[in-house]
A = this chain, B = another copy of it.
Amino acid sequence: MPISLGELAVSVGCELIGDPDTVVNSVASLRNATPESLSFLSSASHANQLPGTKAAAVVLRLADVDACPVAALISDDPYASYARMAALVCPEPAFSAGMHASAVVADSASVAASAYLAANVVIGERTSIGANTVVGPGTVIGADCSVASDCRFVANVTLVKDVRIGKRGIFHPGVVIGSDGFGNAMTSEGWVKVPQLGGVQIGDDVEIGANTTVDCGAIGDTVIDNGVRIDNLCMIAHNVQIGEHTAMAAMTGIAGSAIIGKRCLFAGKSGTVGHVTVCDDVVVAAKTFVTKDVTKPGTYAASFPADNARSWARQLARFRRLGDLIERVKKLEK
């Protein structure tokens, strides 16, 4: 959407150095930008691309203004300011309220007049869909769910039942919310399924990535607080609680009944065992697995970086001889 630099500066609250009437209609990296695109510089590693950029304007820090050959939008946090401007330059495609002829809505469900249900959407009994919410094609929202306003289900999302979602949530394709937790009791005749009878409670401004699964509680709810961001292919097990503004990168797995604090960051392939508590402001490094309570904010790690395979094999052999080494040192000490 064509928008002037002046409008962008005012909307996002940046100082503009340049012509407020210049119009941009796309975003691009510094290197690929054209005179119609907005770009940004937030990381020092791209600073060398600034002098040669052909962008209409660049969002950057005050310190970088002198090196900027084009209009500058000055921000203390250029990445966040760029994010806000990009949403203005390239808004989500508009939709018309209503529903596709193939959508199937249960009699007792209620769908806001301003919402949109795409092709092959199925809405279950007693479920409500809020204003301006867009439910993409193939999405199934089961019984007794409540979805507040301005949510977006991209396509082929499944909410099983008893899922309550706040405002402005974004749910990517293949997301499953409210599936049964993994509850089984061993008996002499094999496993007996433990009925999973709770629901899922999701706050405002939550985004969940493609093919991530969030199980319902066994008894009581699984809870994801306001502003949480979860990437693709993550697993949130039954009765997990995730605090406000925590973010989890792809393939993170949080086992049952774990309680995760606010503003935590879980890097890719990380996770926790069940029934642990992780306090606020904890960073868990990639591939790291939390096995007991974390009570102090900070960064936690436990993974080994890839090594040349031959060198790794030698290292593994040394590791296995650790007991022997300790014995030898003991002997020397005597």
Residues on A lying within 8 angstroms of B by beta carbon are 27-29, 32, 77, 79-80, 82-84, 86-87, 90, 93, 100, 102, 104, 118-120, 122, 136-138, 140, 142-143, 154-156, 158, 160, 170, 172-174, 176, 179-180, 182-187, 190-195, 197, 205, 207, 209-211, 213, 215, 219-220, 226-227, 229, 231-233, 235, 237, 244-245, 247, 249-251, 253, 255, 268-269, 271, 273, 283-292, 294, 298-310, 312-316, 318-323, 325-326, 328-329, 332-333
Q: Is the CB of B325 within 8 A of A326?
A: yes
What 10 A-B pairs have minimum CB-CB distances, sorted nearest first?
Answer: A299-B309, A80-B185, A158-B173, A179-B210, A291-B305, A190-B227, A176-B210, A182-B231, A83-B194, A210-B213
The complex places the Cα of A157 from the Cα of B227 at a distance, in Å, of 28
- Output the residue of A32, A215, A322 with the most chain B CB within 10 A: A322
Partner of A329, one of B86, B142, B184, B332: B332
Q: Is the CB of B245 within 8 A of A250?
A: no
Taking CB atoms, residues of chain B closer than 8 Å to A302 are 304-307, 312
Closest residue of B by beta carbon distance from A100: B104
The complex places the Cα of A312 from the Cα of B42 at a distance, in Å, of 30
- Output the residue of A87, A142, A194, A268 with the most chain B CB within 10 A: A268
Q: Is the CB of A268 within 8 A of B253?
A: yes
Q: Is the CB of B306 within 8 A of A289?
A: yes
Question: Closest Cβ of chain B: how far from A243's Cβ, in Å?
Answer: 12
Partner of A173, one of B140, B154, B184: B140
